[in-house]
Each structure stands twice: as C-alpha cells, then as structure tokens.
Amino acid sequence: MADGNSVQHLNPFDEVRDLCQRLTAEVGRRVVGQQEAVAGLTAGLLTGGNVLMEGVPGIGKTLLAKSLSDAVHLHFSRIQFTPDLMPADILGTHMVHIDADGRPQMSLQKGPLFANVILADEINRASPRTQAALLEAMQERQVSLGTETYKLDSPYFVVATQNPIDQEGTYPLPEAQLDRFLMKLLIRFPTEEEVLEIVARTTGTEDAEIRPIANADEIVAAGKTIRQVPVADFIARYAVSLVFASHPETPKAPAAVRRYVKCGASPRAAQSVILVAKFFALLDGRMNVAVDDIQRAAFPCLRHRILINFDGIADDATSDSLIEQILHEIPRPKGK
C-alpha cells in the first residue's frame, strides 16, 4: 500500500491538485471569504486565461489579485484606467539616449504591461483605443510599439475590474473584447461575520504575509497538466449544448432565452467551460471532468458572453438567471 501511495503522489495530476489547494489556502490567509473568486482567479492563472472581476468598490478585488501574485512570486503591475490614459502609458515608449561613444541610441522604456500579473483597475474607464492596446497583450501575448513587436513573459495573466454601479463616463467593453476573457467573476459583498474578521485582521499590529509557493515555470507546467485532464465525449457534448441553448434562434433555447437574449455565447465559451471544468475536477481530486464541473464552470464562463436585449433589461433579466434556466431545461447527461 505504501508503494502505491508513493507512486500516486508522483502523479502530475496530484501535484497540480496539491498546488491548486496550497495556492487557494495561501491567498485565504490574507483574503477573507470569496472562496469561489479565489478559485476562479487561480483557474485563470493556471490555465492561461484572463479574468474580469465585477464588484462594488472596497470589497477586495485588488487585494485578491495582488495576493495571488504574491503567492506565486510573479511580477505584479497595477494600472488605474482613466479616460485620459493613453496606449503609450501602458505599453511604454522608445527613448533616445547617448551611448558611451556619444552616439544617439534607441532603447525601450517598458510600460506596466510588461509584467506577469496585470491588474487593469476599472478597465471600462479607459478609451477604446487604450482598451485595444490591452486586448493585444491579452490575446497575442505581445505588444506593438511602432514597427517593433515585443513578446511578453510567460505566464501572462490579466485581471480586469469594473464597478457595476457607477457607469457615468465609462466606455463599456464591446462584446468581442468581453469574449476574450476566460471568466467573469462577480465579487459578492462580504457577510457580517466576514466583515468582523476583516476588521480584526486589518486593525491590529500584524498583517498576514503571503509566502511564495510556486514560480513561473511551475505555473506554466501546471497549465499544461490541466489541459491533459480527459473529457468524455458526452461531457463535451453537454458543454456545447449549454452554449447552443444560449442562442435564441436554436431549438434548444429556453423560452426566457428566446425572449430576452439578443446574442448568445460564442464557440470560445465552450472552450472556456471545458478548460475551467478541468481545473475544477483537479481541484476536487478527480482526474476526469464530471457534469457538476461543467455546471460550476457555466456561470463564470457564460455570463459575460450572453447579450441581453431591451426587453430583458426592462424586465430585469440577468445572464445568471438565464444560465439557471438553461441548466434547468437542458437534460443532464447520464453517461455511458
């Protein structure tokens, strides 16, 4: 039995599961509650996807991103997006300097996008032009300055935040840009007991320190292992059926979707659901994806990809309520 256990402990899936659990536990030393958000951010970091967080000010969005970055000993950069922020402010610029021989030389002055973990705070306050500069870094893992293209370090993880309340003077992200985010996490307001714990932790003399427990190479390797988690055909078909059910023109669409949805989720949503479900399976100690993993991944992976029409807005329909209808009406597969 001992030999069997030792062999199992060397299993790369077990190693990644242990890493995921240690990461979430380490972040939890500084962040009170928000377990689902911590798991979602960890999933984004390890799978190479970017995450959009939405929540009112003061509930720990910045702390979440910074704590996760500290736990993996990566270069962290925070950008406060404002209407006057220019692309060069985040990309960097070419500077002229004089070398030892007195000749002018061009050098790159790197902007805050040249990091491993980027917190794009209040991303919807920046102009579309600046948002587009960030989009290239998110999608292509590179930035363009003039005629030069610079590759970004790996891992590269963008966490963007937006405030759902104060929308005046903002530039809402277009659907194509929202689709580039692996997940959208809703950061809930803490409970009364959690606020008491926050007060106790932050008004004393000691502050919880985050210990680095992984490096960049381990994060990249973990992402490759997560992608190796097998997915049964009927599980993959179930994930795709959920995406198709978000389209009002399809026969599978629930009545609420046909009434309230202007445009459903893209094929990229199905990819995201499967990838995040693989992470949830490993986090739960399993080496195969279950239906429950798909359903757990459906909300964060679909909610920002379902565009609600005017009737839905007038009737206070939400993406989450529509996803609930989809999960209720699309039969759970029983397997083989």
Q: For each of the chain's 336 residues, which pLDDT tens digit applies?
A: 444 444 445 588 888 888 888 888 888 888 888 888 889 999 999 998 999 999 888 888 888 888 888 888 888 899 999 999 998 888 888 777 676 666 777 777 788 889 899 999 999 898 988 988 888 888 888 888 777 888 888 899 999 999 887 767 678 888 888 999 999 999 988 889 988 988 888 887 677 778 888 888 889 999 999 999 999 999 999 999 999 999 999 998 999 999 999 999 999 999 999 999 999 999 888 889 999 999 999 999 999 999 999 999 999 999 999 999 999 999 988 765
Residue 134 tokens read as: 């960030």
Residue 66 tokens read as: 């910074």
Give the chain's domains with CATH numbers: 1-85+112-228 (3.40.50.300), 230-336 (1.10.8.80)
Q: Are 297 and 272 in contact (CB under 8 A)?
A: yes
Q: Could you give the 3-state DSSP secondary structure of residue 162?
A: strand
pTM (predicted TM-score) = 0.87
The DSSP H or E segment spanning 82 is: none
Describe the crossing of helices 267-283 and 291-302 by its angle, rounded to 10 degrees.
130
Q: What is the largest CA-CA distance in the chain?
A: 75
Q: Are 12 and 46 in contact (CB under 8 A)?
A: no
- Residue located via tokens 């949830």: 280
Sign of CA dihedral 261, 168, 37, 314: negative
Burial status of residue 1 (CB atoms within 10 A of its CB: 0-12, 13-18, 19 or more): exposed
Q: Are strands 183-186 and 307-308 parallel, antiparallel or unpaired?
A: unpaired
What is the C-alpha to C-alpha distance for residues 110 and 140, in angstroms, rounded to an integer? 17
